[in-house]
Amino acid sequence: MSALVAITQRVDIVPGRNERRDSLDQRWHPFLAACGATALPLPNHPPTALALVETLAPGAIVLSGGNDLAALGGDAPERDATEDALLAWARARAVPVLGVCRGLQFLAHRFGAELVRVGDHVGTPHPVTGPGAERTVNSFHTWAVRTPPAGFAAVARAGDGTIEMMRHEHEPITAVMWHPEREATAVGEDVALVRRILGRDT
């Protein structure tokens, strides 16, 4: 039986149509299916997003990539507000959270870490190192974290010392800077990570 995973969406602004659209990379669906999960895209409207997770009780929440944080000059404050509400909902119920790229940035910022600009992490695969995390990953970000926020431990780092994976020391919150959904074939380590988060690694 497939687990339900709620996932946040990026905001795309379409000036010619006076629209702000929620969107999700289609590759998330086959990736999560490979993990034994079904994606539930959430709108960037806190009351509706909360009503959906409260009613459907997903097994985890994914904070997906896309959009800079408003605090860093981003133009999608409704997304920040939605993810703030979802994070509070998940923490109150011990529902696992996985941050991906912007998701790691969001979590780092919300827990008090400083984000710094990086100039060589877009479209540049690179190795990451850490206990049990030796691998090469993709890279599509311009903001990064060097020091984990209070309560988190850095699990893997890039060669320049920026954090590529971090995990909360007491709560079920994990975050990675790479995009597992963007690989042509789901990578075994990423599938195993999501399955562990869902409690499906047995």
Which position among 35, 121, 141, 181 bears the catalytic label?
A: 181
181 is catalytic: yes
Which position among 109, 141, 168, 179 bears the catalytic label?
A: 179
For residue 189, give the H/E element and its range. Answer: helix 188-197
DSSP structure string for 71-117: GGT-S-HHHHHHHHHHHHHHHHHT--EEEETHHHHHHHHHTTPPEEE
Q: For the range 124-127, what are the long-range contacts, defined as Cβ-Cβ under 8 Å and sequence gap of 24 or more?
A: 126/158, 126/159, 127/158, 127/159
Which position among 35, 101, 121, 141 bears the catalytic label?
A: 101
Distance CA 11, CA 114 (A): 24
Distance CA 97, CA 61 (A): 5
Catalytic residues: 101, 179, 181
